[in-house]
Structure 1
Amino acid sequence: MQQYQETLHRHYGQCLEVEELLFDGRSDHQDLVIFHNPLFGRVLALDGAIQTTEKDEFIYHEMLTHVPVLAHGAVKKALVVGVGDGGIIRELTRHQAIEEIVAVEIDQAVIDMCLEYLPNHSAGSLDDPRVRLVIDDGLKFLAETTETFDVIITDSTDPVGPAETLFTEKFYALCRARLNDGGILATQNGVPFMQPEELTNTAERLAPHFPGWHFYHAAVPTYVGGSMAFGWGALDPESRRVPLDELERRFAASGLKTRYYNPAIHQAAFALPQYMLELIGR
């Protein structure tokens, strides 16, 4: 029986049965593997790390998208840094009030492979007329653009290789500069139990630029080692404390049909375990 051994963490990893290998190659930026697993369906791995699976992708994509959008409450223009499999774009396009989505991706090959082998992730959303796809480095795009956004979402790999610059203070400062009043930055931030320094470093780098910096979290089965953390950089500190009745009103008005996200989960996700609070000095 063929198996895929994840190599993200030292001393610990997960092993997934490969029922069928669909793609194994290298783009201009990273190693890319797509295979079918009997439990999780199709699986995407980049540079030895599991990125997404058909079975549980909805948790990650719903939480990284709907939490900032519904906390903001009036998003008209959004930026996504790291298009990848297109799941974030899919969830953003479900918000009919959003008028424009700029989607920046450094690696066209990842988009192409996911469109071919994981089409349900993007579900046709990249063809939405509100979406503008830009093939570019995210840091470079932010440094050069004059556009501003209500929400910026960073759907990146871990802070190595192509995504390393997306975890720097320079990147967070550029995001701050490109956000409108009341704007929110939400980022993928790893599994703190396995990657504690990633949480600590992000906290230190967000704090100088966002008065409402914090983290929230969700448990995604294929991201082993505990809850996945999401970085939170808000210009309004109260944006993470939206009352439950207001979140329920916004959620109902959005018409969203979700499988994981709901207003109570939204609110609870900002309550961090003590070890995470200690890692960020709170």
Structure 2
Amino acid sequence: MKSWVTEELHADIHSRFRVKEVLFDNKTEHQNLVIYVNEIYGRVMALDGVTQITERDEFIYHEMLAHLPIFAHGAVKKVLIVGGGDGGMLEEVLKHPTVEKVTMVELDRTVIELSKKHLPMICGNAFEDPRLDLVIKDGCLFMKECSEKYDLIIVDSTDPIGPGEVLFTDNFYTDCKSCLEEGGILVTQNGVPFLQADELKSTLSFFKPIFAEATCYLATVPTYVGGPMAFGWGTDQKGLKDIPLDQLEARYKAAAIETKYYTPEIHRAAFALPGYVQKLVA
């Protein structure tokens, strides 16, 4: 590898990371996987030339996709994670003692094994938790065949290119909806809307016919250039995005977990969308 890695997600805007040390660089059965060390961001994972996660700021992404819907719901016991091979999402979900079972569906077993080896600061011991049901399978196929119901489904996918493309389709979201318990929530990774507007518009165009409440919320993750990141939000339980602050504070206190980004105040504010995102949602 060169001493610099260029982020290849956006054709006309590039960000670069200096490589201090390469830990892994090879093709898996499904994609090219690189794990390297950067002086500022720590350990970094990239798939097919696109940065997926960094040691320095992964907590923002994982906390907001995991804790926000869990605290909004208030009684999550069964969770399905589609993707998330680095284990960071799994680790955050399992912090909740009320969660009884987590099914995690990941296409690429190599991502999991290398994350356990090189990214233990992200996944911790999550893969050893007895509440985990790990399934190595295409997420789209799993959802099509799934007969189990979940309180929360988290789609922790790559961008809609390569293996992750099928996780941004109408059929996939419809299959997810059919696997939600009454009042369940579906949340998705939808990129940076300032640069990837079509990604968010497409997902919400599929959400609106099937969910009573379909919108997005935001969080700023420094690794991903272009401003705040959007997370799709779909549920048939209207009002879950508007849980009063005092209720969120009570649930957060009762959970007795430590977070570095998520707070009940941030939770409420995440649904306050700037004008250009409101237009995309509408």
Shorter chain as denominator, the TM-score bin is over 0.9
Task: Report the Cα distance in structure 2 between the residues aligned to 1:125 and 1:84, rounded to whole angstroms.
Answer: 11
Superposed displacement of residue 31, structure 1: 1.0
Q: Deviations over 1:194-250 (max 9, x none)?
A: 111111111101111111111001000001110011000111121101000000000
- The letter for the 2-side match of 1:152 is I
Query: 1:38 maps to which residue?
Result: 39
Describe the SS at the equivalent of 1:237. coil
Query: 1:202 maps to which residue?
Result: 203
- The letter for the 2-side match of 1:38 is E
Query: 2:5 maps to which residue?
Result: 4
Answering whether residue 230 of structure 2 is matched by residue 229 of structure 1, we say yes
Task: Report the Cα distance in structure 2 between the residues aligned to 1:51 and 1:204, rounded to whole angstroms.
Answer: 25
Could you tell me whether the CA contact under 8 Å between 1:77 and 1:151 is conserved in 2?
Answer: yes
Describe the SS at the equivalent of 2:51. strand
Could you tell me whether the CA contact under 8 Å between 2:38 and 2:44 is conserved in 1?
Answer: yes
Could you tell me whether the CA contact under 8 Å between 2:20 and 2:38 is conserved in 1?
Answer: yes
Query: 1:87 maps to which residue?
Result: 88
Query: 1:250 maps to which residue?
Result: 251
- The letter for the 1-side match of 2:70 is V
Alignment of 1:120-199 (within 5 A): 120-199=121-200
The gaps in structure 1 that reach 5 residues or longer are: none
RMSD: 0.8
Q: Deviations over 1:50-79 (max 9, x none)?
A: 110110000000000001111000001000
Q: Between the two proteins, what is the percent identity of the paired residues?
A: 50
Task: Report the Cα distance in structure 2 between the residues aligned to 1:256 and 1:163, rounded to whole angstroms.
Answer: 31
- The letter for the 2-side match of 1:74 is A
Q: How many residues align?
A: 281
Q: Deviations over 1:20-63 (max 9, x none)?
A: 01111111111111100000000000111111011000000000
Could you tell me whether the CA contact under 8 Å between 1:213 and 1:237 is conserved in 2?
Answer: no
Describe the SS at the equivalent of 2:239. helix
Describe the SS at the equivalent of 1:213. strand
Alignment of 1:41-80 (within 5 A): 41-80=42-81
- The letter for the 2-side match of 1:138 is G
Q: TM-score, normalised by structure 1?
A: 0.98
Q: Deviations over 1:101-138 (max 9, x none)?
A: 00000010111111111111110011100001000011
Task: Report the Cα distance in structure 2 between the residues aligned to 1:63 and 1:221, rounded to whole angstroms.
Answer: 14
Task: Report the Cα distance in structure 1 between the residues aligned to 2:37 and 2:237, rounded to whole angstroms.
Answer: 43
Query: 1:215 maps to which residue?
Result: 216
Q: Deviations over 1:8-29 (max 9, x none)?
A: 0011010000000111111111
- The letter for the 2-side match of 1:254 is A
The runs of 4+ residues in structure 1 deviating greater than 2 Å are none
Q: TM-score, normalised by structure 2?
A: 0.98
Superposed displacement of residue 83, structure 1: 2.6
Task: Report the Cα distance in structure 2 between the residues aligned to 1:209 and 1:48, rounded to whole angstroms.
Answer: 34
